[in-house]
Structure 1
């Protein structure tokens, strides 16, 4: 796990709508645009091998959200035509202070890690998690969306892995993904996730919302 002094003050950033990376989670990415291939090449030369995932704040990628998540490149492979398949492992969220001018084809930001100390811990816990109730509403959501799932794996997954994986994988709007990213704890992320699922189900469901 990264220590705070290992985290750089300037990060190359990858603005990608709807893509969510969370601390201690893994995000596979397919890199093919020339500017991001250059970013990856530079990141792989650095000891930290860290890039920042962040969402645009509007159409295109000119504006950036204020909070993103840094990930370390933990796996990568190159295809015959020069593209990369990589895996980022989430380290810590960050807050953008300013964008850095420079000559790189990709964007870089001066960032602050203050306020995200718990991201560097080995795990987070949700003491109020009602797994059975959560899986019931998730079952309804999957049915409504015509999604399949490995329910044995979901039932056995650790709380953090379950909540964070669903937050990253489910198809929510970019602003909803940002809300999941900015949730201050695992319990608030779970509450936000349930709210988004209930919102998606609203209109065809007459049961009381899950508490």
Structure 2
């Protein structure tokens, strides 16, 4: 069964804490666990070559649960290392809503998913009309200095709004629940506003009263 053209109603899941994939972005991954090597082998046999990236989270009793929203990526590159690991690159295709987990047939998780709420993900590049790039880059420089991070500032200044905001959302060392908030942002502007809030929060030293 297929939904929305080439997007399937069932995809394999790769739960990985803190890993964020966004539409039209690229995510490099290292695959080495036997169950995920089996997943990759199965994925490469399908025409879509989709893997659903999703955040695991602890339930009320500490049991492992999955976030309700993830992002599917298409395997666009892969290579094998001498010790049997695979280096792959996913290209973000669309976010999805988890409908039902499917387990028992393979060593890895799969799920029925819905793409209905995320048609914008499969459109053109998003813009952020209210984006003040100069002020944003000043804040970003302060944040990178505080976190002792380095980057190519020339490339950041030239990057399109979506590429800049989404790449930073994926790369910055935020907590998994913050990464999930960035994933679920309904628009590029909302994601940028969330990103600014997270950087300002980090610069204030993580004072919980400030965050609220």
TM-score normalised by the shorter chain: which range applies?
over 0.9
1:195 aligned partner: 197
- Stretches of structure 2 that go unaligned for 5 or more consecutive residues are 207-212
1:144 aligned partner: 146
Greater per-residue strand proportion: 2
1:52 aligned partner: 52
Q: Per-residue deviation at 1:203?
A: 5.0
> How far, CA to CA, are the matches of 2:63 and 2:116 in structure 1?
25
SS at match of 1:116: helix
Q: Provide the aligned length of Structure 1 versus Structure 2.
A: 202
Does residue 1:184 correspond to 2:178, yes or no? Answer: no
Deviates more, 1:166-175 or 1:145-154: 145-154
Instruction: Output the aligned Cα RMSD.
Output: 1.6
TM-score (norm 1): 0.92
Matching of residues 1-211 of structure 1 within 5 Å: 4-58=4-58, 62-203=64-205
Conserved? CA contact 1:16–1:56, under 8 Å = yes
Conserved? CA contact 1:15–1:61, under 8 Å = no
Q: C-alpha deviations, 1:148-168, integer Å up to 9, x for none?
A: 221111101110000000000
1:209 aligned partner: none
SS at match of 2:22: coil
Conserved? CA contact 1:39–1:106, under 8 Å = yes
- Stretches of structure 1 that go unaligned for 5 or more consecutive residues are 205-211
SS at match of 1:38: helix
Deviates more, 1:161-170 or 1:52-61: 52-61
> How far, CA to CA, are the matches of 2:103 and 2:148 in structure 1?
46
> How far, CA to CA, are the matches of 1:61 and 1:185 in structure 2?
32
> How far, CA to CA, are the matches of 1:95 and 1:176 in structure 2?
18
